[in-house]
Chains A and B, each alone.
Chain A
Amino acid sequence: MKVKRTNLWQSFRTATWLGWKIESNWTDPFLFFIYSVVKPITGASIIVIMFSVITHADFTSPMFAFMFIGNTFYQYVAAIMTGVSWAIVDDREHYRTLKYIYTAPVHIPLYLIGRGVARFLTATFAVIILMVFGIFVLHIPIQILNVNWGLFLLAMVLGAVMLSMIGLLLAGIALNTVRQNFFIGDVVAGSFFLLCGVIYPLDILPNGVRQIGYLIPITYWIELIRRSFVGNIAQAFPTFTQFSDLQLVLILLGTAVVFGVIGYFSFVLFDQRAREKGFIDWSTSY
């Protein structure tokens, strides 16, 4: 059944609202806020302490800014990708409502992306708090007036779309798997964490593995976010020194389009297969 154009926005908006309710209404707003920030802050603190132990707390080092910004903004990668794909597990296995959603005039890809928005919002709380902590307590060399906000916003928009599309690909896989769908988001996010030079320069990776990192758009997204906050960070690490900001934006755009097309059409194929095999109302009690 074709979905009307007006229903596209409604699908996205309602899914966002639903996702937010599911994420947040199990407790009061204060506890939810604490919950949303404690996990990422303690996770980021592991890196901070490791760095502190080895360098005797030299937080002004470019290496620390590199690690801290990469680690902080990576919250979005796990949140969006897992948020989109986890909606399949949640709706099919836990709430058992996926079949009803499929029978309603809902645009499924936009519905799933809308479900990921809730996690994007909670990740945003954590990122803001971490950045404030980094700038004012750890004194990372970031000057608010010198931040390239245009580059930052452009990278964020491209990044959010690109991550949603990868999430959609994972959602398609989750739709066709039973006992593995719980792990898919975390495993892929964990692999990208290792391959995309998030907390260490790509040059640390062995030859052959490093090249895989160059193929993933997240690598360029993280680099652009870093450059938007600390412009001269590129000079400290040789990996992308030869690329200008514009070149990196174009590479991100190109790789994001490739991943976007793969993500969307893979989902369409996986979705078709799931319908044919009767996986939409599959419940395994796992």
Chain B
Amino acid sequence: MQILPQISRKASGLKLFIMTVLGRAYPRVVGTQREVSWLLFDVLMPMGGVIGYVLVYKALKAPEDYVGFVVVGGAMIAFWMNVLWSMSSQLYWEKEQGNLALYIISPANLMAILLGMAVGGLVATTIRATFVIVFGSLMFHVHYVLTSLWQLGVVFVLCMIALYGMGMMASSMFLLLSREAWHIANLVQEPVSLASGFYFPIKFFPFWVAAAASFIPLTLGLDAMRQLIFTSGPTLGFISVSLEIWILLGLSVVFVAGARLLLKKMENLAKKEGRLTEARR
């Protein structure tokens, strides 16, 4: 069955770039929805964490807004997991399966392939995160008070650009890794969950710890979102939302530009060291 349109004319330049982005995004958006059990697991696993941490707050008789903090944090974890496992370490998986060499020898730009993964992953993960927000909010009767819709939109978009930019930058480093890639991805999963304050406001960290954690875009993104949608958010925020927006903008530029520079450098290095086709199990 023909799903994608047949290529009748050779593309180049911007058209090839866009085609590559769409082509790589396609399996992320459509393919992952075909396996319904994955959708179920992707929603259930973060929901399990959300329920567990909400019950901890309930047992501790915490203020109600903390329940909402956990629900929003649980939804944002889906993006972090997607960036970690399906962006950063993706080129390692591609190498393991033999696809990486095919990407390199094709006329497609590697940056466009990464962007396609990011766009596709973002769309697919947004669906999962929405489920977590909806189920979590209904289950625990979370009360939201939205103070600025446009700021919320800007924060979310910038947070995602910076986060997926960071994922693209990290994936170029994973290009050089072999079987240790899986372990390294596994290693950073929990520390980032801790540092980003998925389940508590980072204001409770010492200032410089919170400032260091702010290099992870989710930290400031989450802090700003909580300030914008919960009554107690502003009092528990780390810094002002407007400052967080400017920092997220800076991080977006740095990570996307860094990804472009690093990818080229790492690709050349991997070619020189013959690591593009190795598969050490």
The residues of B that contact A46 with a CB separation of less than 8 Å are 53, 190, 193-194, 198-200
Cβ-based interface call for B257 (8 A)? no
CB of B187 within 8 Å of the partner chain = yes
Partner of A54, one of B41, B60, B193: B60
Are A42's CB and B191's CB within 8 A?
yes
Give the dominant DSSP class at B's interface: helix
Closest CB-CB distance, A116 to chain B, in whole Å?
17
Whether B190 and A47, one on each chain, are in contact in the complex, defined by CB atoms closer than 8 angstroms, is no
Chain B residues, Cβ within 8 Å of A190: 44-45, 48-49, 52
Whether B187 pairs with A50 at a CB distance below 8 angstroms is no
Question: B residues 245-281 with Cβ under 8 Å of A?
Answer: 281
Residues of B contacting A194 in the complex (Cβ-Cβ under 8 angstroms): 48, 51-52, 55
Structural contact, B183 and A27, CB atoms closer than 8 A: yes
Question: Which residues on A sit within 8 Å (CB–CB) of B55?
Answer: 194, 199-200, 204-205
List which B195-216 residues lie within 8 A (CB) of chain A.
198-201, 204
**Stretch from A101-109, A144-152, A180-188 contacting the other chain:** A180-188
**Which residue from A39, A47, A95, A191 sits with its C-beta under 8 Å from B56?**
A47
Q: Flag A35-56 by CB within 8 Å of B: 1 or 0 each.
A: 1001110110111011111110
CB <8 Å contact, A95 and B281: yes
Task: Verify B204–A52 contact, CB threshold 8 A.
Answer: yes
- Chain B nearest CB: distance from A176 CB in Å? 14
A46-B194, A50-B200 known; A179 vs B35 contact (CB < 8 Å) = yes
CB distance B41 to A35 under 8 Å? Answer: no
B149–chain A nearest beta-carbon distance, Å: 28
A6-50 Cβ-contact flags toward B at 8 Å (1 or 0)? 000000000000000000001100000001001110110111011
> How far, in whole Å, are A95 and B96 apart by their CA atoms in the complex?
12
* Contact flags B15-40 to A (C-beta < 8 A → 1, else 0): 00000000000000000000101100
Residues in B neighbouring A180, C-beta threshold 8 A:
37, 41
Q: List 26 A-B contacts (CB under 8 A).
A: A26-B183, A35-B183, A39-B190, A42-B193, A43-B190, A43-B193, A43-B194, A46-B53, A46-B193, A47-B56, A49-B204, A50-B53, A52-B204, A53-B201, A53-B204, A63-B59, A63-B60, A179-B35, A179-B38, A190-B44, A190-B45, A191-B48, A194-B48, A200-B58, A205-B55, A285-B97
**Which B residues fall within an 8 A CB radius of A?**
35, 37-38, 41, 44-45, 48-49, 51-53, 55-62, 66, 97, 179-180, 183, 186-187, 189-191, 193-194, 198-201, 204, 281
Interface residues of A (CB under 8 A from B): 26-27, 35, 38-40, 42-43, 45-47, 49-55, 63, 67, 94-95, 179-180, 183, 186-187, 190-191, 193-194, 199-201, 204-205, 285
* Given A52-B204, A54-B62, 8 further pairs, Cβ under 8 A: A38-B191, A54-B60, A54-B61, A190-B45, A190-B49, A194-B51, A205-B55, A285-B97
